[in-house]
A and B are shown apart, each in its own frame.
Chain A
Amino acid sequence: MLKLENVSKTYKTGDKALQGIRFEVPAGQVVGLIGPSGAGKSSLIRCINRLVEPTAGSILLGDTDLTRLNGRSLRQARRRIGMIFQEYALVERLTVMENVLSGRLGYVPAWRSFLRRYSPEDIGQAFALLEKVGLADHYNKRADALSGGQRQRVGIARALEQNPELLLVDEPTASLDPKTSRQIMRLIRGACQERSLPAIINIHDVMLAQQFSDRIIGLRNGEVVFDGAPDELTNEVLTRIYGDEDWTQLRGQESSEESTDGSSDAPSVDLAEGV
């Protein structure tokens, strides 16, 4: 489905953001991408839809090599990839409906989008998605009138309005409270399962990543240092990704906060279930 071969990115400043990244994501798999700040998580997912230009390597989405595209063909490839952003990145002064419909921009000629004349199917789908994310009554509100969690729901609807083949998610819960974060993650995960949509979710919260991903990729200094199932994330692995820290204690706090039945003898497995 998505296949990265030797992807590297070196910025003009000489910073090596990514070095020889290779992995494959099959249809329907939700990948949690974790790693310390500056490890290259954000660069990596932006290389996939070419908001950042990779310096080397190839990225295959289906049969298309995304790194070779330009102009029109790049735009056509981008519309197959939905993206959900940190801090939502909604166009604040547009209405919720316009934000959701902007997911169709790649398919609609400029004059139609300028006049906001979308096809009945596009509009119908937008209403259905707003209904699904629980914002059915808010379609004519301006995006900046919504709360954080509501805005991210609009962000999800916008990405799904594209009918994407791949979902890129950049820190979706960075400024949300724990409960809203979980609701948002559940929504993303549900959408992926329903449409057997592969997703790469770039996330800081390790517990959240473990709970909602099928697979975890750990990035450090632009290199993949871990690639495996969520319950293989041992303290030793976390140290490899993030560096030394008292992981047991951190996990202990989380689990005592969240889990009710205290079976704390197998912390790494228990955590994924307990939340």
Chain B
Amino acid sequence: MDHQPTVRSTWKRPPLLLTNTLWRRLIYSGALIYLVLAVQTVEVDWQRVYLGLERGWRFIEGFLVPDFTTRWRDIHEGLIESLTITLTSTVAGILISVPIGIGAARNLAPAPVYLACRGIITLSRSFQEIIIAILLVAMFGFGPFAGFLTLAFATIGFLSKLLAEEIESCDRSQIEAIRATGASWWQVVNYSVQPQVMPRLVGLSLYRLDINFRESAVIGIVGAGGIGATLNTAIDRYEYDSAGAILILIIAIVLVVEYSSSYIRRWVQ
């Protein structure tokens, strides 16, 4: 009976990892138990949460009744400073990250250049903006210059990496065709790689502009100038209405950048 050839009608997708059923069950249930125990160790001081609710509410009230006028001079200065930091650091970052991105693309760069450029990218990406900002504020003092350097440095890691990946996924036949005409390396980059990656490079740069503006508000808190410094001062003084006004302005600017960048991106396709 058992050996009769029967038509199988059950099928289960084989597990991709942990093919041993016993081990799979052990590991999954172990992970679940750990999660439950870990959640239990989190101590919540409900008394403190209750007190905090009131403060939080004051903050929200300030947000609902934003005060643009009292601190307008500070806000105005901070915004201009932030926008300056954003624009200059993004432009500087793009100018530096294009050659690094090309150098970090396997299909264009020889091995030593590739490794060096990948090293720079890894270095830039392994530190969070705030840590870099703290370091650079310590080195160059409070103010927008530290902010500019921080964001330019962070832009390099972001943009070079994504540009390098875009170059590596270029259509090889187009590169081959240009090489076959006897074109030099620069001409191959200009005629076959650049047309393929340009829309993406523009899109990424605009995206980074948007990120840099938001980051400029954050790194201002650690002393790197801009609207973040103004925001920090306002919160320190319990002026939640001014802080609310600043937050609203940040959100508005991010929205404007977002919409205009999606418009430009469609236009360069």
Contacts and interface: CB of A to CB of B under 8 A. Distances in A.
A51 B184 CA distance: 14
A33 to B, nearest CB: 17
Interface string B172-190: 0110111111111011001
A208 interface: no
B216 interface: no
B192 interface: yes
B198 interface: yes
Contact of B183 (A49, A89, A105): A105
Given A51-B176, A87-B173, A113-B187, A106 B192 contact: no
A106 B174 contact: no
Contacts of B183: 75, 102, 105-106, 113
| Chain B interface bracket (under 10, 10 to 19, 20 to 34, 35 or more) | 20 to 34
Given A91-B191, A91-B192, A106 B182 contact: yes
Contact of A89 (B173, B184, B195, B199): B173
Interface residues of A, number: 33
A106 B173 contact: no
B232 interface: no
A89 B182 CA distance: 15
- Please give me the 10 A-B residue pairs with the lowest Cβ-Cβ distance, nearest first: A106-B182, A79-B182, A105-B183, A78-B182, A89-B177, A93-B195, A89-B173, A83-B180, A110-B186, A75-B182
27 contacts: A51-B176, A51-B179, A75-B182, A75-B183, A76-B182, A78-B179, A79-B181, A79-B182, A83-B181, A85-B173, A89-B173, A89-B176, A91-B174, A91-B196, A92-B171, A92-B195, A93-B198, A93-B199, A94-B195, A105-B183, A105-B191, A106-B181, A110-B184, A110-B190, A114-B186, A114-B190, A162-B182
Interface of B: 171, 173-174, 176-184, 186-187, 190-192, 195-196, 198-199
